A and B are shown apart, each in its own frame.
Chain A
Amino acid sequence: MGKLLLERLLTLVLKLFGMAVILFVVTQVLPADPAAVAAGTDARPEQIEKIRQQLGLDKPFHEQFITYISGLARGDLGKSLLTRRAVSDDLRLRFPATLELALFSGIVIVIFGVGLGIIAAVKAGSPLDFLIRAFVVISMGIPPFVLALFLQLIFAKSLDMFPLEGRLPTRLAPPPYATGLYTVDSLLAGQWDLFWSSLRHLALPVAALALGRLAVGARFTRSGMLETLSQPFVRTARAKGLREGRVIIRHAFRNALIPVVTMLGIQIGFLLSGAVLVEVVFTWPGLGRYAVESVLSFDFYAVIGAALIIAVIFVVSNTIVDLLYAQLDPRIKHR
């Protein structure tokens, strides 16, 4: 496992470096003037020049490149042209919001997606299986932002069950920063009202984000389980008189887990990087919205910073999946 981790770490560093170089070059050759965008549409030339100097954009390409890459080696992601803060500071503020959304969505996907998949497989061909499959097909067909708008109108506006948007009510201050996850930070601070409020604020965005992915999870689990349930070892287990629950969970489900875990690994990456529209609809100040705002305003360093974070997430989630494979299937561990 140690060797695998070391390998992955080295690959990650190389991948990130390669990505940073490519992104830096691409963003520099784009026909656009980031200093002019940062200065605003009514800026005078002298203001644009001042900003260009302040941000070091007046220097030759190779100088900017060396400055950026050497900064990157020290963990400095540069300065946002738009917010004028260090990109790492911006990401520290924005990433936890997306992480919290993704974590809760992941929990929902695992519990309900996998759960529904198992039930559908066990009850294959029954009306319940039909209902679950219909739910899966419909859920997969609804784009998250459309679902988000429906959820807002029904559960926030009409039924007044959940807040319409945001991570907390306007008049409430966030808990003291520890992790940036409001649910965790409020618990750490012992602020139960904030904890409850942040949970309620998570409900609709999590539902919007998780439903489609949950359906994918259910579908993968169902097909994996159906295949495993027809295997001779399951028949053997039943013939030995084991309880049906034990047969399903300990024997069949464990063996069906490999494709399910693969799918979940990919989902986590998508949840973290693909929440843009949900973040926009629910005014969720996360990484996705930050990345979009940065792209639209040619905020190059912020774009590269956000892209690197997303790359790290994908590599880390894939590494976790690989490690889980080894736990789930000893044959993989020995190879």
Chain B
Amino acid sequence: MKSHFKILLTLAVLVMALAPASADATWTGTFVLGSCCEPNSLDPAAMGISQTEGYVINAMYEGLTQYSRAGEVRPRLATSWEISDDALTYTLTLREGVQFHDGSALDSEDVVTSLERHKALGLGNLGFILAPVASVSALDDMTVEIQLSAADFQFWAGLPHIKILSADAIAANEVDGDMAADFFRENAVGTGAYELARWDPGRQTEMTAFADYWGGWEGSHVETFIARYGLDFSTRLLLMEDGEVHLIDWAGLSDIRRAETTDAINYNLGNPLQGFYHFMKQDGPLADKKVRQALMHAYPYEAMIEVMQGVALPLSSPTLSGTVGHCDVFEPVQDMDAARALLAETGYADGFSLRQAYRHANEPRRFAAVLFQESLAELGIEVVLDDIPWGTFIDAQRNFDTAYDMTSHWLNIPIPYSGEMLFRLNHSSLIDTGTGNWAWYNNPAFDALLEEAPTLAPGDPRIDELLCQAQQILIDDAVVIPVMLSQYIDLTHSSVRGYQYDPYGFPGDLRVHDIWLEN
């Protein structure tokens, strides 16, 4: 009898131990993302711009802070913080009771190790965020102090994207001082709501709800999150019609029409931190500011918005609304008479020829190139279009002689800070790197404004003032044409609830913890 009681007691303890953390959770099945592309790595320190990479990493890892959907910095693994008046010292208090997927508890050592590791490896596109960090130290178990070598607003704006890893897992998997880079490429030990169950390269990544997640599981949630890769677009749609895929990212214009024909699929629009720009290299006829201004007048802004069938918004500035420092400095209206008048003032009224790089396979870039080509033909300007892949383009752009006269591109920024977009657009340090400033613009006054703005403390009104001046300079000098904000389109299955596009979740955050499925 006594031994039976012992067995029953053991069983009861086992059942309690194996039970999910929250008895109030309602599990609603498996949420499947159908994506084109596979992450290169699951390591947050190597995070690039692939949305899929972001979806997976953001489900398994968390930062010290996070952006609300309105773009405000909110607590995450840090519950409170203090910023010194000179914006050089950031003191953060960590959240109690947070566990990593390996069972270790979050403390200051995890934060110190993660930030140092991220800064040292920095293979992804977020390396610049930690560049100004001079030191990270633990004041006590739950308080961390970050010291900057120079004030840099971008550090604070980018901190939500820097993920915290388990220091124990880093130490346990380090090989030859690689900071566990090999291990974290295909494994994940974060504090996120979902933990890695399996990554089948070429096929899918499967994540399951982390029972001890500090945010709890009260309410309805999905138990498993699967990111599927390599799905052809038509196959993704067929799978979604059958409820086998619940979310398709980066849908095309024609998919909206398809979604409208079935009740099984909904489409959603979002405004990403991404602008579409036309660059004019300052060479030949384009070295003349009046010629560039004429081309700015000739740009078919309205036609471009129209051809995008309602999923694009005009830009009134080189920066994006909703970002710190944005101001309206420009009216996107085509005026061919003004263009002709300006060209008449130059020696190029009889026309000339320009070479433009574009991608034919990309609908908006093709539309933009062809529409502008037609507009310029009316002014006697011939545009020769070259369809060129990214690797070849960037190689050509490094050399002034081989760089294209014109090119159109999207630029994404990871943080809602206009200075970052202006830097990518036209800062002189990017000349001959091929990674931005394809206008080969070199204006020390413009550079100085961009360099001063981030040294001010977060919230300083002079940030807006300086960046606004910088935007005005770009428009006056006519080096870059802000074409449009092409909206992000995604498709969701009709059973999906709780999903909302997050423009601040770089490079993509589905907030899977908020999602559930309804039968």
Contacts and interface: CB of A to CB of B under 8 A. Distances in A.
Interface of A: 30-34, 36-48, 50-51, 54, 82-85, 90, 93-94, 97, 149, 152, 156-157, 164-167, 170-171, 173-174, 280-283, 285, 289-290, 296-298
A97 B228 CA distance: 17
A165 B389 CA distance: 29
A50 B392 CA distance: 19
A43 B435 contact: yes
Nearest to A289: B230
B107 to A, nearest CB: 30
B105 interface: no
Interface residues of B, number: 54
Interface of B: 30, 32, 38, 40-41, 46, 48-50, 122-125, 127-128, 185, 198, 200-204, 206, 224, 226, 228, 230-232, 234-235, 238-239, 242, 244, 389-392, 394-396, 398, 409-414, 424, 430, 433-435
5 contacts: A83-B201, A84-B40, A90-B201, A285-B201, A285-B203
Given A42-B125, A170-B226, A283-B235, A93 B40 contact: no
Which of A30, A42, A44, A45 has the most chain B CB within a 10 Å cutoff? Answer: A42
Contact of A44 (B125, B239, B412): B125
Which of A41, A46, A85, A289 has the most chain B CB within a 10 Å cutoff? Answer: A41
Contact of B203 (A40, A43, A164, A167): A167
Contact of B50 (A40, A47, A166): A40
Given A42-B125, A42-B411, A281-B232, A31 B396 contact: yes
Contact of A50 (B123, B231, B234, B244): B123
B434 to A, nearest CB: 6
A165 B240 CA distance: 13
Given A36-B394, A45-B435, A164-B238, A173 B122 contact: no
User: What are the 4 tightest A-B residue pairs by CB atom distance, in nearest-first order?
Assistant: A285-B202, A32-B391, A45-B433, A40-B48
Which of A45, A50, A90, A170 has the most chain B CB within a 10 Å cutoff? Answer: A170
B238 A152 contact: yes
Contact of A33 (B226, B395, B411, B414): B395
Contacts of A281: 232, 235
Contacts of B48: 39-40, 43
Given A31-B392, A43-B49, 17 more contacts: A32-B389, A36-B395, A39-B125, A42-B411, A44-B435, A84-B40, A84-B41, A84-B185, A152-B238, A164-B235, A165-B231, A166-B203, A167-B203, A173-B198, A280-B232, A289-B230, A297-B391
Nearest to A34: B391
A34 B394 CA distance: 10
Given A33-B391, A34-B391, A298-B391, A40 B125 contact: yes
B415 to A, nearest CB: 12
Contacts of B433: 45, 48
Nearest to A281: B232
A84 B413 CA distance: 25
A37 B435 CA distance: 11
B156 to A, nearest CB: 18
Contacts of A170: 30, 32, 204, 226, 228, 244
Contacts of B32: 170
B77 to A, nearest CB: 25
B323 to A, nearest CB: 15
B222 to A, nearest CB: 13
B194 to A, nearest CB: 16
Nearest to B131: A46
Contacts of B232: 165, 280-281, 283
A38 B41 CA distance: 12
A33 to B, nearest CB: 5
Contacts of A40: 48-50, 125
B239 A33 contact: no
Given A44-B125, A289-B230, A33 B394 contact: yes
A85 B202 CA distance: 13
A33 B125 contact: no
Given A42-B412, A84-B41, A164-B235, A31 B125 contact: no
B125 A37 contact: no
Which of A44, A48, A298 has the most chain B CB within a 10 Å cutoff? Answer: A44
Nearest to B197: A173
Contacts of A90: 201
Contacts of B206: 173
Which of B128, B231, B391 has the most chain A CB within a 10 Å cutoff? Answer: B391
Contacts of B235: 152, 164-165, 281-283
B414 to A, nearest CB: 8
Nearest to A39: B48
A297 B414 CA distance: 23
A47 B391 contact: no
A83 B40 contact: yes
B3 to A, nearest CB: 36
A210 to B, nearest CB: 20
Given A42-B125, A84-B185, A93 B391 contact: no
A68 to B, nearest CB: 19
Which of A31, A33, A290 has the most chain B CB within a 10 Å cutoff? Answer: A33
A50 B30 contact: no
A84 B124 CA distance: 13
B49 A41 contact: yes
